[in-house]
Amino acid sequence: MTPEGRRFWTIRQTADFLQINFKSCYAMAARGEIPFVRIGKRTIRIDARRLCEQLERQVAGKNVK
């Protein structure tokens, strides 16, 4: 389960979670840097579980202090 208790987040929820700008988050999703699913033509949702897994892999791969 994700920190928010939901599997799919909006761009704004994801931006708040990552503590980044809303537009930056949208651009990252557009570039494929954030896992998302498209619902209809204009709506996208971020797969929070996959995002958290991706972050964990990135942290594990680096020597974080």
pLDDT digits (tens, 9 = 90+) for 3-57: 557 789 999 999 999 999 999 999 999 999 999 999 999 999 999 999 999 999 9
Q: Are strands 8-9 and 43-47 parallel, antiparallel or unpaired?
A: antiparallel
pTM listed for this prediction: 0.80
Residue 2 domain flag = no
Residue 1 domain flag = no
Q: In the predicted model, is pLDDT for residue 1 greater than 50?
A: no
CB 46 within 8 A of CB 33: no
> Which residues, including other chains, have CB under 8 Å from residue 61's CB and lie 6 or more apart?
none
Its domain, for residue 28, covers 8-61
Residue 31 domain flag = yes
Q: Please count the CA atoms within 13 angstroms of the CA of 8 that sit on its side-chain side.
A: 7
Counting the structural domains of the chain, the total is 1
Question: What number of residues does the chain have?
Answer: 65
pLDDT at 61: 85
